[in-house]
Amino acid sequence: MGLQAPLWRAVTVFRGAALVYATVLMLAGSREHTRPWLGWTVLAAMVAWTVVTGVRYHDPAGRRWTWLTADLAVTLTCLLVSMLVVPAERLAAGGATLPMAWVAGVVLVWALRGGRRAGGIAALIVGAADLFLRGAVTSATVNGTVLLLLAGGVMGYVSRLTDDAEARLQRAVELEAATRERERLARGIHDSVLQVLALVQRRGTELGGEAAELGRLAGEQEAVLRSLVGVHDTAAAAGTADLRLLLGRYGSPRVTVSSPATPVLLPAAVAAEVAAAAGSALDNVTVHGGPAARAWVLVEQEPDAVTVSIRDDGPGIAPGRLAEAAASGRLGVAQSIQGRIRDLGGTVAISGGPGQGTEVELRVPVPRLG
Amino acid sequence: MVVDDHPMWREGVARDLTDAGYHVVAAVGEGAQAVRIARSVRPDVVVLDLQLPDLSGVEVIGGLVEALPQVRVLVLSASGEQQDVLDAVKAGAAGYLVKSAAREEFLDAVRRTAEGDAVFTAGLAGLVLGEYRRLAAAPGDGPEAPRLSDRETEVLRLVAKGLTYRQIAERLTLSHRTVQNHVQNTLGKLQLHNRVELVRYAIEQGLDG
């Protein structure tokens, strides 16, 4: 409760100041009091109570509702005892009660602990007691109650604000700690594990046989690990996604993903659809070209569109095959890709001849962002 | 000369090069040390890891090019450090290869670097293409942003899609050499632009200060 502590301290300071004010009024008015000794006793009780609550509220564990209720009871007692000390006609005329402004202390405490509503309730109770005391609705009573309500409301609002601010601060601190830890891990992994995995891949491939298989596995793990620990400092704005990161996941020893050095931002849903379409195209490469087929993915950002090309080094499509397949309604994967991209207002071009590999080009218009 | 802070890699690369008949004049693990030693051993080709403990890749390349204007730098780097790679190439690196590339691929890249060719992988082509697009889209203040001709764009896109120079030459009915020249040009223009920008920046700073 770091941010709340100063507020609680401020309430104690306010109570101390209100005590000084009450003492001055007592000194000035005690000659008219019917029972001056009782007045001084009440003042002494207020001093003692201010000290007790000051100590009690200093510790966050001491801010319990039982204490706050006792606080309200003591305040009301001090206020109501004024009936026995201050002459009734002076009270009815709006004269000073014994505690005077000191009663506001409990309203502030309630507001701090329970927010605006609790502050308002305390203000209304104290206001009602004041009204009972004076026996008539006067402008002074109404004024006093309105001021108490205001004080309770404002304090409750400030209390809620500090709670929010504190929670946010806490989250920010946690996030920063997590980011730092992640960066530290990423550096460590980059300097050691990734280098070794890359080395294993390289040497394994050269040795051939089973070692080559191990090397291939090491290479795959290297790509996965790299994308996991990759620190992406260009955090995409809410609702948008960097297409490079989504497509980067497809990268492997067989699949090369080429992209610009700057983020390719698309609305998150569009980016996900494009990435999914590119994923099906890559799956298609594996289906037709076998697990050894290589593929290249190129992401290009143009002023008004984003183009993703997927090319493989497979046998390619014989001329007319595509039209023939489309005519007989057996386009399958190509159709699902086309469906996705068309829904985004984009176009799909499939090209490639025998010996040239197959190339699928997805082109999606970019809505103006921000 | 081999520069890599990982001892296993440094030795592995140096051994591969020696086995292939190259003379490895130095193998060092730090950037500042690399620039210092390069002055005396005068390597033809520097195989450089971008992630060094002391200097950034751009700083090392800048230092090397300043000390030895004729030196050819081949960047050997882990993938996924795209901005670093682009900056390195703009600073004057002649080529870029991922660390996971096979030995033959690596030796071929060193050979081509030594011969003065740009080593353009698909990944690098994508980066360079993206950089030209970014420059074209950015509001122009200062020197005219470099532009690619239609033919250069076409060639670069095919390189980025993984076609070999031979395949590109076939498809566009060009000679192998022409394709190579186009690729080299795209890099040259970008490096020139980078130098002009640096000079402009230096003049502005000088005039202001």
- Span A151-192, pLDDT tens digits: 999 999 999 998 899 889 988 888 888 888 877 787 777 777
Q: Which H or E element spans position A360?
A: strand A359-365
The span from the CA of B159 to the CA of B95, in Å, is 14
DSSP E strand stretches across A210-358: 240-242, 255-258, 265-267, 295-301, 305-312, 347-351
Confidence at residue B190, expressed as pLDDT on a 0 to 100 scale: 84
Q: What is the ipTM of this complex?
A: 0.79
| A202:B101 CB<8 A | yes
Given a cut of 70, whether residue B143 has pLDDT beyond it is: no
- Where in chain A are the domains? 5-172, 236-370
| B103:A202 CB<8 A | yes
Beta bridge partners of A266: A241
Q: Where are the alpha helices (DSSP H) in B68-146?
A: 82-90, 103-115, 122-137
- Where in chain B are the domains? 2-118, 124-208
- Span B173-189, pLDDT tens digits: 889 889 888 888 888 88
| B102:A202 CB<8 A | yes
Closest partner residue to A205 (CB to CB) among B102, B130, B160 is B102
Confidence at residue A263, expressed as pLDDT on a 0 to 100 scale: 83
User: A152 with A115: CB under 8 angstroms?
Assistant: no
Does the domain at A236-370 match CATH 3.40.50.261? Answer given as: no
Q: Which H or E element spans position A134?
A: helix A104-134
- Span B95-138, pLDDT tens digits: 888 877 778 888 888 998 888 877 888 888 888 888 888 888 77
- Tokens at residue A283, please? 């799956």
The span from the CA of A258 to the CA of A253, in Å, is 13
Please tell me the class of the B124-208 domain. mainly alpha
Which pTM value belongs to this model? 0.60
**Strand-pair category, B27-28 with B2-3:** parallel
| A300:B8 CB<8 A | no
The span from the CA of A243 to the CA of A257, in Å, is 11
The DSSP symbol for A236 reads: P
pLDDT (tens, 9 = 90+) of chain A, 370 residues, equals: 477 888 999 999 999 999 999 999 888 887 888 888 898 999 999 999 999 999 999 888 888 999 999 999 999 999 999 988 888 888 888 788 889 889 999 999 999 998 899 999 999 999 999 888 888 777 777 888 899 999 999 999 999 998 899 889 988 888 888 888 877 787 777 777 877 888 888 888 778 788 888 888 888 887 777 767 665 544 455 678 888 888 887 877 788 888 888 888 888 888 888 888 888 888 877 777 777 788 889 998 888 889 999 888 876 666 566 666 655 555 566 677 888 888 888 888 888 766 677 888 899 998 765 4
- Tokens at residue B103, please? 């030995």
Q: B64 to chain A, minimum CA–CA distance in Å?
A: 24
CATH number of B2-118: 3.40.50.2300
Q: Which residues of B touch A223 (CB under 8 A)?
A: 79
Q: Which residues of B touch A261 (CB under 8 A)?
A: 82-83, 85-86, 127, 130-131
- Tokens at residue A280, please? 């099906």
